[in-house]
Amino acid sequence: TQPIVALFGPNVPLVHNAATYAINPFGGHVYARGQAGWRRTFELNVFGSAPAAWLAMRSMRTDGGGKIINVASRAAWRGETEFADYGASKAALVNLTRSIARACAKDNIVASCVAPGFIETEMAKPELVKHYDEIVNQIPLRRVGSVGDVAGVILFLASPMGDYLNGVTIDINGGSWFQ
């Protein structure tokens, strides 16, 4: 974190947006491949976020506080059938965010989460190409979200307007899923 502080100054929010996803149904034919998918997914989606947060918190405590914003997914709430490992990893990320929020508030560190639905990204592109009409029909706003839709909420959380939001998860999915 020290090079980041040197480059941007103190109190730079940590936004953890790394993720991996692949179809990995419970009924897969090769046990080892399914288990490898779970390990790969959790390694990046959860075990990548926790150490990054831990390192950022070291600087944030020295600087008088800070913000951690994690990008989860509506999959955290749904109980996914084709990619349960992804949904479970995003649910773990929501819980990690809540744990950080409760444990670190005393240090003026707040943590929040956004939970996008389908967003026009490279990661979502294969599913959007294969199932676009089915996906859009699940969304009351009748459109897939944009990166700008998510970035706007993250900017809000990172700004002073989001200073009192701690431990929250904001759904960004056009109304396709409610928690």
- Answer whether residue 149 shows pLDDT above 70: yes
Least confident among 19-28, 71-80, 144-153: 19-28
Tell me if 94 sits within 8 A of 76, measured CB to CB.
Answer: yes
Separation between Cα atoms, residue 52 and residue 129, nearest integer Å: 33
Q: What is the pLDDT averaged over residues 27-56?
A: 91
Q: What is the pLDDT of residues 62-87, one digit of tens each?
A: 999 999 999 999 999 998 988 999 99
> What is the model's pLDDT at position 14?
95
Q: What is the pLDDT averaged over residues 3-7?
A: 59
The rounded Cα 147 to chain-centroid distance in angstroms is 13
Long-range CB contacts (within 8 A, 24+) of 54-61: 55/1, 56/1, 56/14, 57/100, 57/104, 57/107, 57/109, 58/1, 59/1, 59/2, 59/4, 59/5, 59/10, 60/11, 60/107, 60/108, 60/109, 61/107, 61/109
> What is the model's pLDDT at position 117?
94
From 31, 86, 132, 164, the catalytic residue? 86
Asked if 21 is an active-site residue, the reply is: no
Q: What is the pLDDT averaged over residues 116-137?
A: 93
